[in-house]
Amino acid sequence: MINKVILVGNLGKDPEVKYLDANKVVARLALATSERYNDKNGNKVENTEWHTLEMWDGLAKVAEKYLTKGSMIYVEGKLKTEEWEKDGVKRYTTKIRVTTMNMLGKANGGGGNSDNRLAASKPEPAKKVEEHNETVIDSIISEGEDDLPF
C-alpha cells in the first residue's frame, strides 16, 4: 500500500512553530496549490486548493528559519487523518505529514523569502539545481493552462 503526496505551491501565511517537550518541534503550514484551465465556454478558470502541512524537528526548524508567506515549496509526505469528538459529534481533519521539502523560490527572494541568507551560502551545484527546479516548476505550471475537454 502507498500513502504518498507530492505538492508544489505557495505558503498562505508564515509557519506556526511550537516547541514541545524533549526538544521536539512542530511546524504547521498552509499551502495553496492552483489549477488553471479554460472551461467549455473558453473562460479561464482557476481553482485553489488549501492544504495543511505538518513538519517535525529538523524540517520544522528549517521552515521557521527560511519560509515566509508566499514562499514556493515542493513537498513530499503522507496523508494523516485525525479524529476527535466535539459535542458528541465525531470530527475529522486531514493534513500532510511532510517528509521532504525543497524551497523553490529564486535566490533573490522571489519565493517570498525576503533575505539572502540562502543565496549567500549556496555552492555552484546548488545554484544549478535551483535553475533546473525553476525550469521544471515553470513547465508544471504551464501544463495547468492547457484546455481541458470539460
Question: DSSP characters for 74-133?
Answer: EEEEEEEEEEEEETTEEEEEEEEEEEEEEE-S-TTTTTS--S-HHHHT--HHHHHHHHHH
Question: Domain-by-domain residue ranges, the chain?
Answer: 5-143
Please tell me the pTM assigned to this model. Answer: 0.66
Q: List the one residue out of 95, 98, 109, 110 whose CA is nearest residue 63.
A: 98
pLDDT tens profile 20-66? 988 899 999 999 999 988 989 989 999 999 999 999 999 999 999 99
Q: Which residues pair with 49 in a beta bridge?
A: 33
Architecture of domain 5-143: Beta Barrel (2.40)
- Whether the predicted pLDDT of 70 surpasses 60: yes
- Cβ-based neighbours of 96, under 8 Å, separated by 6 or more: 5, 7, 31, 51, 52, 53, 54, 75, 77, 78, 79, 80
The average pLDDT across 78-83 equals 94
